[in-house]
Structure 1
Amino acid sequence: MGQTASQLGEHTSLVVLPLFAVLTLDASAGELGVLRAVGQAPILLLALFAGAWVDRWRTRTTMVLTDAGRALALGAAALAGLCGLLGLPGLLALAFTVGALSVFFDVAYQASLVRLVERDQLVRGNSLLEGSRSAAQIGGPALGGALVSLLSAPIATASSALFFALSFLSIRRIRRDESLPERRPAHAPRVWRRIHEGLRFVAGAPALRTVCLASAAFQFSFAAMMTVYLLFLPRELHLSGTVVGLALAAPGPGALLGSLLAARLPGRFGYGLVLVCAAALGDGVFLCVPALHGSSAVTVAVLLVAGFVFGTGSQLVNVTVMAVRQAVTPDGMQGRAAATITFVGMGLTALGSLLGGLLAEQWGLRTGLLVTAAGMMLSPVVMAVSPLARLGRELPTAPSPVLGRRLGKR
């Protein structure tokens, strides 16, 4: 419940804060771009530090503190907005603060499951967590937009604060003991050394190294594709705002299905086969979109089906990859492994978005969409030629010299 409320608050705020800037502060397109960039900057700036922090503290403590911080920050911003005291500089500071706290929360919740459930329950646990996140991805933006439209941006901001407060209260009630993954000696290693240990661990584990490369390839190409896609729908297909919204929301229900399938398919067909097939199907479905013309019912149906299939495949990959990562990572390295993969995987998204815009301008929307959609296929190709593709029906064990040889053997 706590994670669901937190995800609702996060996804609601991702819509509310930009709308606050546009509707209340009359921000320009450039100012809105800066606001979004400031909110995303903590991923690059703080993800590795968050991993080093989480591996030395109880995840429950980290999640409670970050929820409280986000609730207080958004609550104060809502009050300032109602009083007409919140300007763009304050909104930028708010976006960075919420983004920074979200980085710490996300790393902690990814590491928490390993400390709370048995190893054979990882896939089921991740399936439930990712299912709740998918529901938040569907309901959060819709709720945020509705609250801004029906009430006001400051009140919508207050609603995000309320979700984080609910998450804070819920996670505080967790009574299951969570031991620290490692003792903190009097002379603990410096944070840079701990970050280096995390980077070296991920780089040295064949399965995790592949996850990093596949994630980076996907996130870079997906960012480029979405930049073109958001222009392609209204300008090339001449779709209304309502239909565009439906197309963008279509991956949400698919993600719910993907979360459910992730609890069953890997154990039946093998983790490697499921990863490669789900990634190829989910990413490849967008290759058909550039062939669409006009705003007919067939076009809309294809877009909805494509979004649904993409959401299903992507979430199936997300849950399965998370279970593999958690299984091959020792408890004392969970936070740093998650943070390193986030840092590498998400680090190129800004460049991907810039590339998408450049391709749309130079080559046109249809060609740009085809090229960027084809680029997304790099991710399943990377997995198909890696040790990940050879994983069977059982999760691998925590890394050791034996595991390294087994995963690396052809």
Structure 2
Amino acid sequence: MPSASSAVSGSDRPVPSSLWRDGDFRRLWVGQTASQLGEHASLLMLPLFAVLTLDAGAGQLGVLRAVGQAPILLLSLLVGAWVDRWRTRTVMVVTDAGRTLALCAAALAGLLGWLGLPALLVLAFAVGALSVFFDVAYQASLVRLVRRDQLVRGNSALEGSRSAAQIGGPALGGALVSLLSAPLAVASGALFFALSFLSIRRIRHRESIPERARRPPRTGRRIHEGLRFVLGDTSLRTVCLASAAFQFSFAAMMTVYLLFLPRELHLSGTAVGLTLAATGPGALLGSVLAAHLPSRLGHGAVLVSAAALADGAFLCVPALHASSAVTLPVLLAVGFVFGTGGQLVNVTVMAVRQAVTPDGMQGRAAATITFVGMGLTPLGSLLGGFLAQEWGLRTGLLVAAAGMLLSPVLMALSPLARLGRALPVPAGHAADPRSP
């Protein structure tokens, strides 16, 4: 029986010294890149399909976005436990095939005039659920595919393509909806998942299914330990609360925003895509700044100021009008500022979370924070639809954008704001002498 390290790291097979010479890694990278492009393009295409083709109202759009986000809340923790017991290649291939078939069926129904809002809700939930499985599986697959000394380079390549997809996906989705009919745009989105299927299916390395213990640890008990640890630590508890407040308000804001841009500002699908894609270059700048600013200005100061700047940028959007020449430049600037500040917060929070969490609790702490932080997004999307429908697009957008500022306020009133240039250490541990 292979050792645990060989089963996990892929050292039971010869791997070229250069990562890009490894054909299996290239196939994984191509598949993951195509999948991420399809996923981020679909996140814009499906709402635009509802707004432009089905003339969906604010409440209906809120429900559609909530249904698409619900699998994150319902499945994330369980999928993380399940994928560890399956071959990741199999999971990715099956989910790619499922998403391809789902979008092709939706496109055909749309061309025939059969795709109404109920069918679109089913499609959004199915694609969202399959995406949760794929996203968890591809992150676990690298560890089983390459040597441990290649993990940093492998993760850098995969995360780089994911960032590129976040930049190009929305712009591509908006352009496809503008240039093609909405059903054909949905069908073209299926091509990305088909490409991912064909690439990942060609991975030759056959993973070993991890041996199942006679008495495996109970999933519920491990989840409870993670929850107890995170909620028992003041800094991590604040991160959870601030993240939940932000994600709830951001989901509400985005629901109104996707209606505000085409209906109030009369932007085309391409312009909407470019507006959303502007966060990508900002995120790249935020990643660069995150490597230097916290150690110079203090982690707490960077967290509070970057969150306030990023979240406050959207407060100026309700004042824009379609006839103004500065409308699109302002929207692009807002997206860029939001991407810069948001990524600066994300990277700094991750560093703080990793610093205060013992090694044996890292995975569960990350999953718990993601679960708590993202758990309210479906309700936020519903609230955004309600605000837009009852209060109007401008007022609803202003209220939702103002709600995002609750996140930096919570951090400013907590011990997170007092963090200095050095990262904290877990309770009961001595500071690492190698730390700067």
TM over 0.5: yes
1:349 matches 2:377: yes
C-alpha offsets along residues 210-239 of structure 1, whole Å, 9 cap, x if unaligned? 211111110111122223333444555x44
Corresponding residue for 2:166? 137
What value does the CA root-mean-square deviation take over the aligned residues? 4.3
Confirm or deny: 8 A CA contact 2:92 2:138 kept in the other structure.
no
Alignment match of 2:336 (pick from 293, 308, 313): 308
Corresponding residue for 1:160? 192
Alignment match of 2:249 (pick from 208, 216, 221): 221
C-alpha spacing 1:265/1:169, structure 2 compared with 1 (3 Å): farther
Confirm or deny: 8 A CA contact 2:71 2:129 kept in the other structure.
yes
C-alpha offsets along residues 319-360 of structure 1, whole Å, 9 cap, x if unaligned? 222333344444543443233222211222232233334334
Confirm or deny: 8 A CA contact 2:171 2:272 kept in the other structure.
no
In 1, Cα distance between equivalents of 2:90 and 2:143: 20
1:47 matches 2:76: yes
Confirm or deny: 8 A CA contact 2:62 2:383 kept in the other structure.
no
Report the TM-score, using the length of structure 1 for normalisation. Answer: 0.76
State the 1:205 CA deviation: 2.5
Confirm or deny: 8 A CA contact 2:226 2:361 kept in the other structure.
yes
Unpaired segments of 5 or more residues in structure 1?
A: 406-410
- Aligned AA (2:191): S
1:383 matches 2:411: yes
Confirm or deny: 8 A CA contact 1:9 1:163 kept in the other structure.
no
Unpaired segments of 5 or more residues in structure 2?
A: 1-28, 432-436
Confirm or deny: 8 A CA contact 2:239 2:349 kept in the other structure.
yes
User: Secondary structure, in 3 states, of the residue corresponding to 2:93?
Assistant: helix
C-alpha offsets along residues 296-317 of structure 1, whole Å, 9 cap, x if unaligned? 1233322221121011111221
1:2-401 residue pairs with structure 2 within 5 A?
A: 3-16=32-45, 36-53=65-82, 61-62=87-88, 64-77=89-102, 95-107=124-136, 131-147=160-176, 149-150=179-180, 152-153=184-185, 155-165=187-197, 168=200, 185-236=213-264, 238-241=265-268, 242-293=270-321, 295-397=323-425, 399-401=426-428
- Aligned AA (2:267): S
State the 1:272 CA deviation: 2.5
C-alpha spacing 1:248/1:321, structure 2 compared with 1 (3 Å): same
Confirm or deny: 8 A CA contact 1:51 1:335 kept in the other structure.
no
- Aligned AA (1:138): I
In 2, Cα distance between equivalents of 1:114 and 1:333: 18
Identity level (%): 70
C-alpha offsets along residues 32-61 of structure 1, whole Å, 9 cap, x if unaligned? 76654443221121122234446x569xx5
In 1, Cα distance between equivalents of 2:240 and 2:147: 25
In 1, Cα distance between equivalents of 2:397 and 2:298: 33
C-alpha spacing 1:132/1:229, structure 2 compared with 1 (3 Å): same
C-alpha spacing 1:113/1:330, structure 2 compared with 1 (3 Å): farther
In 1, Cα distance between equivalents of 2:408 and 2:199: 35
C-alpha offsets along residues 270-296 of structure 1, whole Å, 9 cap, x if unaligned? 332222221111111122233444531
State the 1:169 CA deviation: 6.3
User: Secondary structure, in 3 states, of the residue corresponding to 1:297?
Assistant: coil
Matched pairs, number: 392
In 2, Cα distance between equivalents of 1:377 and 1:336: 28
Report the TM-score, using the length of structure 2 for normalisation. Answer: 0.72
C-alpha spacing 1:358/1:71, structure 2 compared with 1 (3 Å): closer
- Aligned AA (2:68): G
Confirm or deny: 8 A CA contact 1:50 1:335 kept in the other structure.
no
In 1, Cα distance between equivalents of 2:263 and 2:123: 33
In 1, Cα distance between equivalents of 2:393 and 2:105: 41
In 1, Cα distance between equivalents of 2:313 and 2:325: 18
State the 1:73 CA deviation: 0.9
User: Secondary structure, in 3 states, of the residue corresponding to 1:187?
Assistant: coil
Confirm or deny: 8 A CA contact 2:384 2:400 kept in the other structure.
yes
In 2, Cα distance between equivalents of 1:127 and 1:312: 19
C-alpha spacing 1:109/1:197, structure 2 compared with 1 (3 Å): farther
C-alpha spacing 1:276/1:184, structure 2 compared with 1 (3 Å): farther
